[in-house]
Amino acid sequence: RILQVSSRVNSTRYPSSSFSSSSVSTVKLFINGKFVESGSDKWIDIHNPATNEVIGRVPQTTKAEMDAAIASCKHTFPAWADTSVLSRQQVLLRYQQLIKENLKEIAKLITLEQGKTLADAEGDVFRGLQVVEHACSVTSLLLGETMPSITKDMDIYSYRLPLGVCAGIAPFNFPAMIPLWMFPMAMVCGNTFLMKPSERVPGATMLLAKLFQDSGAPDGTLNIIHGQHEAVNYICDHPDIKAISFVGSNQAGEYIFERGSRHGKRVQANMGAKNHGVVMPDANKENTLNQLVGAAFGAAGQRCMALSTAILVGEAKKWLPELVERAKNLRVNAGDQPGADLGPLITPQAKERVCNLIDSGTREGASILLDGRKIKVKGYENGNFVGPTIISNVKPNMTCYKEEIFGPVLVVLETDTLDEAIKIVNDNPYGNGTAIFTTNGATARKYSHLVDVGQVGVNVPIPVPLPMFSFTGSRASFRGDTNFYGKQVTLSLKKIFSLRNFLNIFRSKDSAKKALPAA
């Protein structure tokens, strides 16, 4: 089917512009403004996680194709960097409109490939859309700084200038939001971009690329390659790539951070998590239990900000049976089925890994209060489903506590005091997000100040910042010193100009070149 971008996309499966229309669709590359079929002889199957049927194939991009993509980014960079910031802003303004018009279609593609419910998939696109909207405020974000009379007859100006070719490597769990954390902000600042989506869920990125092109982004500003390790190594090593945005697991992230940094690139890496929700006995019980259930099991726990660990303090321990009752009421089904609260895990291997971690809890002395391992979903018997699972009596030395589970599993610890809870949170290697549930302002303040975690919610279970702030993380959840979106994103400061006896700063470029001292 033909993609109708100016009105609405009508396809419910792969649109033909960026995918072939053979019996099993193949995902195309996007090189220099064209969606092209890869000549690779190595392909990876894409499965629908609710059925495990093969729904498409994605190529392991060849070296020659990756070279072509980089050459396109590099060739386009000078003209794009020189395009006025207002023109770049206009592209993004059109882009946010097209994403809004096509939000439901992008969401359907996410549910097909990733498995999450349609409501969660729409949220995935919506959170990415907010970053695109934020990118539209580039005219304020890119303002530099000046200080007159820094010494006699001398002023200093700093400009925020684009770096060049940047690249993004994305995970499977937010197929729209995370690519949209990456390329729109980099590109509105004047960089060109090479994107490598997750090989398990490339569809949303392809559709977003088509919409970006239809927003007026010039050919070559955005290029897309596919694959796994070879593509990642290529990005880490290529001298023309100046910066890498990575989101994903620690195993990949540490490697990419180290290898990319070794090649002199600026690397931002947001990685794994073990997010704690601390429940104080003075919390609003009704609200807290509902929030815990949603944050632990929503999106089948495949969120980096999932609240996967509860610490019940003092009398709050008594709320455990009610927590279990609420979790039992969640409906597990294919993501496109009405009423589904959570869908399947991404692969059979992910399901096996999650079940093994639940098994480890039993072996190591924890209690399984709610067990989702044996769940059967009618009509989807081959899907990768795990039902909501609650493990109690968990101790910090247990495997199910130490590992990021990334499934619909809540591990529960108990303490007598807030101080003990804070110690547990700070002793855990990860520091992505956390929440405290309390009605006491002093308790909330103490917790938020003492925990070493990037994003802290007070009675807010998934404290993901809106894009005018930055997404962050601490300790093992984060490498690098730059953040996604927010003001941080424009910290691409390359040059500071010191100007002496230089009055007419609004010169044309040529005359300014003559007058500027060497930077």
| Interacting residues toward ligand NAD by CB under 6 A | 169-174, 196, 198-199, 228-229, 232, 247-249, 251-252, 255, 270-273, 304, 404, 406, 432, 473, 477
The answer to whether 226 and 29 are in contact (CB under 8 A) is yes
Q: Return the number of the residue (252 or 418) whose C-beta is nearest ligand NAD.
A: 252
CA–CA distance, 427 with 24 (Å, rounded to integer): 48
**In the bound complex, which residue of the shown chain has the CB atom lying closest to ligand NAD?**
248
Residues constituting the chain: 519
Instruction: Give bridge partners of residue 195 from the DSSP assignment.
Output: 168, 224
Helix crossing, 103-114 with 203-214: angle to 10°? 160
Q: What is the DSSP letter of 436?
A: E
Helix (H, G, I), strand (E, B) or coil at 396: coil
Which residue's CB is nearer to ligand NAD, number 49 or number 473? 473
User: Of 368, 387, 366, which is closest to residue 376 (Cα–Cα)?
Assistant: 387
> What is the bridge-based pairing of β-strands 409-415 and 389-392?
parallel
**Smallest separation, CB 275 to ligand NAD (Å):** 9
We find the least distance from the C-beta atom of residue 191 to ligand NAD, in angstroms, to be: 20
Instruction: Give the pairing type, strands 241-247 and 474-475.
Output: unpaired
* Residue 480: CB minimum distance to ligand NAD, A: 12
Name which of 268 and 415 has its Cβ closer to ligand NAD: 268
Question: 170: closest CA among 256, 237, 73, 111?
Answer: 256
- Cβ contacts of 140 within 8 Å, gap of 6 or more: none
Q: How many CB atoms lie within 10 A of CB 339?
A: 7
CB of 483 to ligand NAD, least distance (A): 10
330, 298 in Cβ contact below 8 A? Answer: no
- Residue 355 among the catalytic residues: no
Nearest residue to 170 (alpha-carbon basis) of 29, 269, 258, 236: 269
- Residue pair 186/160 in contact by the 8 Å Cβ criterion: no
| Residue found under tokens 């660990």 | 309
* Distance in angstroms (rounded) separating the CA atoms of residues 294 and 277: 12
Q: Which two tokens stand for residue 200?
A: 């398990």
Nearer to ligand NAD, 11 or 228 (CB): 228
Minimum gap (Å) between residue 234 Cβ and ligand NAD: 11
* Shortest CB 317 distance to ligand NAD, Å: 28
How far is residue 196 from each of residues 235, 251, 265, 272, 278, measured CA to CA in Å? 9, 17, 17, 19, 37
62 versus 477: smaller Cβ distance to ligand NAD: 477
Query: How far is residue 169's CA from residue 64's CA, in Å, rounded to a whole number?
Result: 19
Which residue is catalytic, options 136, 189, 304, 400?
Answer: 304
Quote the distance between the C-alpha of residue 21 and its chain's center.
29
Q: Give min distance, CB of 279 to ligand NAD, in A.
A: 22
**Considering the complex, what minimum distance in angstroms separates the CB of residue 170 from ligand NAD?**
6
40 contacts 199 by C-beta, under 8 angstroms: no
State the pairing for strand pair 222-224/241-247: unpaired
Q: Are 61 and 226 in contact (CB under 8 A)?
A: yes
Q: Residue 164 or residue 473: which is nearer to ligand NAD going by CB?
A: 473
Nearest approach in angstroms of CB 261 to ligand NAD is 15
**Residue 259 DSSP SS3:** helix
* Cβ distance to ligand NAD smaller for residue 5 or 235: 235
Nearer to ligand NAD, 174 or 437 (CB): 174
Count Cβ atoms below 10 Å from residue 251 Cβ, excluding itself. Answer: 10
Q: Smaller CB distance to ligand NAD: residue 178 or 340?
A: 178
Q: Which two tokens stand for residue 288?
A: 């807290």
CB of 231 to ligand NAD, least distance (A): 7
Residue with tokens 């002793």: 427
- Read off the tokens for 121: 């998939």
Q: Looking at beta carbons only, is 162 or 272 nearer to ligand NAD?
A: 272
- Kindly list the catalytic residues: 304
